[in-house]
Amino acid sequence: MADLKAKFEAAAAASKNLTERPDNGTLLKIYALYKQGSAGDNTDKKPGFSDMVGRAKWDAWNGLKGTAGPDAMQQYVDLIESLS
């Protein structure tokens, strides 16, 4: 688990230095996997209708509800590696 956490943190750092900016769908997936891996299930209140970006992020993260932390971490690492 410590090895996975180190890979997760390294992938988080690497995500800031991607050669190309991913499309919005991929960015939402990156965000959701990071949040699920680091914080677990989404317990935040759903943003209001006028906050479209916040709502999209909330929906993406909430879509991963029930995904185990280590699974989300591994998916995040794999996704960042595929984009690097």
pLDDT, tens digit (0-9, with 9 covering 90-100), for 12-55: 999 999 999 999 999 999 999 999 999 999 999 999 999 999 99
pTM of this prediction exceeds 0.85: yes
Q: What is the CATH number of the domain that holds 9?
A: 1.20.80.10
Provide the domain count of the chain.
1
Q: Which residues of 2-31 are buried (b: 16+ CB within 10 A; e: fewer)?
A: eeeeebbeebbeebeeeeeeeeeeeebbbb
Question: What is the model's pLDDT at position 84?
Answer: 84
Print the domain residue range for 11: 2-83
Question: What is the model's pLDDT at position 2?
Answer: 78
